Amino acid sequence: MRVCVAGAAGAFGMKHLDALGAIEGIEVASVVGAPGEDLEAFAQARGIGHWCDDLGESLARSDIDAVILATPTQLHAAQAIQCLEAGKHVMVEIPMADNLADAERLVATQQRTGLVAMAGHTRRFNPSHQWLHQRILVGELKIQQMDVQTYFFRRSNLNALGKPRSWTDHLLWHHACHTVDLFQYQTGGVAAQVQALQGPAHPELGIAMDMSIGMKTDQGAICTLSLSFNNNGPLGTFFRYICDNGTYIARYDDLVDGYEKPVDLSAVAISSNGIELQDREFFAAIREGREPIAGVARCLPAYQTLDRIERALA
């Protein structure tokens, strides 16, 4: 299967390129970047035969089967729709849109074209969260509360590699999206109640730098989510699952119980890399002609909840 990666030279584009190198039968045939990037050297160093700064040029190629979009958030929905309209399967990094209306348009386009369209909701694939999900499904665990902290130190417009960004990140539509989706996915319900608070907007970036979100399902499970771009300390997202039969703490691909005893995740999946597992699911869904675990329609409820949270903040 021949793939185009758009946004390939960015932090997550390179994560996908590394992941694709571990998946048998996948060839990166084209990369797309922003004007001004030295894409020729980037592509040649990785043995990729085609590079350009126009997504449409890659989509016009008959030898491209699928596209992975690791481009700026504000482009996600329009570019994903563009890929589907060009007859290409597409995986768009999280969030698939930065508003509900665009997310709904993307889902409608996927349903009309019948192609595979998947959102990069990596938490559904991290072995730590998969281990818990499997036990929830068979009734061994029931979530009573998820306590989640998403903390970065990002007072200037830099990406995950510390390089200047051409676009502005967002606590709600990007970073909260991970947890809103995971909470609803793990509990099997939709947030029936939401509440939210945010701190002052950054004078230059124009975004809230601190945010607090609360959610509750009809079944009674609650989620408390704290987010900050002001945190000068350990960075990342940390999940505490308080269940009826134990407490578990997930730190990316590691999982411990409430007493910091490690949980063996070696049998959960073929890899411990959530991005690789996400990409493997995308290509498996294409080959098998089915909806992926993180298909855009399956992820839409998270965007409906984000819309309600945004209105609560307003």
DSSP for the chain, please give it: -EEEEETTTSHHHHHHHHHHTTSTT-EEEEEE--TTS-HHHHHHHTT-SEEES-HHHHHT-TT--EEEE-S-GGGHHHHHHHHHHTT-EEEEESPS-SSHHHHHHHHHHHHHH---EEEE-GGGTSHHHHHHHHHHHTTS--EEEEEEEEE-B-SSSB-TTS-B-SS---IIIIIIHHHHHHHHHHHTS-EEEEEEEE-PBPTTT-SBSEEEEEEEETTS-EEEEEEESB--SS-EEEEEEEETTEEEEEETTEEEETT-PBP--TTT-S-S-HHHHHHHHHHHHHHHTS--TTBHHHHHHHHHHHHHHHHHH-
**pLDDT tens-digit series, residues 251-303:** 877 999 999 999 999 999 999 999 999 999 999 999 999 999 999 999 999 99
> 0.85 exceeded by the pTM?
yes
Domains and CATH numbers, the chain: 2-121+275-293 (3.40.50.720), 126-268 (3.30.360.10)
**pLDDT tens-digit series, residues 99-158:** 999 999 999 999 999 999 999 999 999 999 999 999 999 999 999 999 999 998 877 776
